[in-house]
Amino acid sequence: MASIQQGLTRALLAILLLLQPGFALPRAGGVQARAPASTSTSSSPTPAPSTSRTASSAATKTCNGRSEYCNRSYSNVTFVGSHDSAFVGSLPQQNQNIDIKAQLDMGIRYLQTQTHHSILDDDTLELCHTSCFLKDAGTLKSYLGTVKDWLDDNPDEVVTLLLTNGDSVSITDFGDTFKSSRIDKYAFVPSSSPDKLSMDDWPTLGDLISSGKRLVVFLDYGADTTKVNYILDEFTYYFETPYDVTDSSFPDCKIDRPSGASASGRMYVVNHFLDVDLFGAKVPDRDHAAKTNAATGDGSIGAQADKCKALYDRAPNVVLADFVDQGGVMDAQKALNGL
């Protein structure tokens, strides 16, 4: 019975999507052509941070909008991030109200989204969740182009992308897409590459800005830094708390992924987005977003972060949220950074 309900729910959501104004299936003529094979999809390693972090950031008055961030290492900054950032709209399965540029303009500097093969062209990476019939936000190349344009216009900002690889796409396909969008010029390469960069060795935001390598990229599965050295393996660097949470108190900060991992030596992601059960399927809880995304109070970003800080003796590095324009996500970010 549960499987029948889930099937009916997915069918209902697909029908809702088809009824959305302006929706149309991608046309073959509009599909992104695959970039020509390149001899290399890697970049030169980003220079190691200077011995004087204060001096290295002196030329930059602000970093991500705050002077206080300039001399902080990347691994010592808390970012409130946009979960499923590309899925924008008012349908039940959509996670955000405002588009990528608006998210960046309001202060979001950590963008998570999901990728799959296009249903029409296996060589094209599309932004889809579970099924491209259910959620399709266009091509990864177009998404990266939007982020690149924003970085072009905002030279004192560091942005992070966390991508999922639901179809186990080859890492070189990701590299080709980054290269064809020309955003790879901003991509940070650890000085330790292809080996892991330790938490203590991350550059400051000021160092990243002064080097011009202001885009940090992670992929959940399939990264290989010997082939594409700027797309980093998420679970080498992070662990995550449970997701698809339906309890508004967010009671749990245990390590959910990678299974059996140690917190030592890893940054961590708190999945602070609330779902609700809709006919057997979990969808974003839009109605309670303002409370979920509050800086303080029961079930807030601050309340869950405090639980995690007590468990791991340090603040989270990332807190992912739906509907980032609701509540007080930027106030929460400032508080978590002690500002």
What are the structural domain ranges in the chain?
60-336
CATH of domain 60-336: 3.20.20.190
Secondary structure of the chain in HEC code, one letter for each residue: CHHHHHHHHHHHHHHHHHHCCCCCCCCHHHCCCCCCCCCCCCCCCCCCCCCCHHHHCCCCCCECCEHHHCCCEHHHCCEEEECCCCCECCCCCCCECCCHHHHHHHCCCEEEEEEEECCCCCCCEEEEECEEEEEEEEEHHHHHHHHHHHHHHCCCCCEEEEEEECCCCCHHHHHHHHHHHCHHHHECCCCCCCCCCCHHHCCEHHHHHHHCCCEEEEECCCCCCCCCCCEEEHHHHEEECCCCECCCCCCCCCCCECCCCCCCCCEEEEECCEEEEECCEEEECCCCHHHHCCCCCCCCHHHHHHHHHHHHCCCCCEEEECCCCCCCHHHHHHHHCCC
- What pLDDT shows up at residue 19? 43
- What pLDDT shows up at residue 9? 46
Which of 83, 116, 117, 272 does the annotation list as catalytic?
83
* Whether 116 is catalytic: no
Which of 116, 117, 129, 272 does the annotation list as catalytic?
129
Which pTM value belongs to this model? Answer: 0.86
- What pLDDT shows up at residue 131? 79
Q: Could you read off the pLDDT tens digit of each residue along the chain, which spans 339 residues?
A: 444 444 444 444 444 444 444 443 333 333 333 333 344 567 777 765 544 444 444 454 899 999 999 999 999 999 999 999 999 999 999 999 999 999 999 999 999 999 999 888 888 999 998 778 878 899 999 999 999 999 999 999 999 999 999 999 999 999 999 999 999 999 999 999 999 999 999 999 999 999 999 999 999 999 999 999 999 999 999 999 999 999 999 999 999 999 999 999 999 999 999 999 988 889 999 999 999 999 999 999 999 999 999 999 999 999 999 999 999 999 999 999 999
- What pLDDT shows up at residue 47? 61
- What pLDDT shows up at residue 127? 96
* Whether 288 is catalytic: no
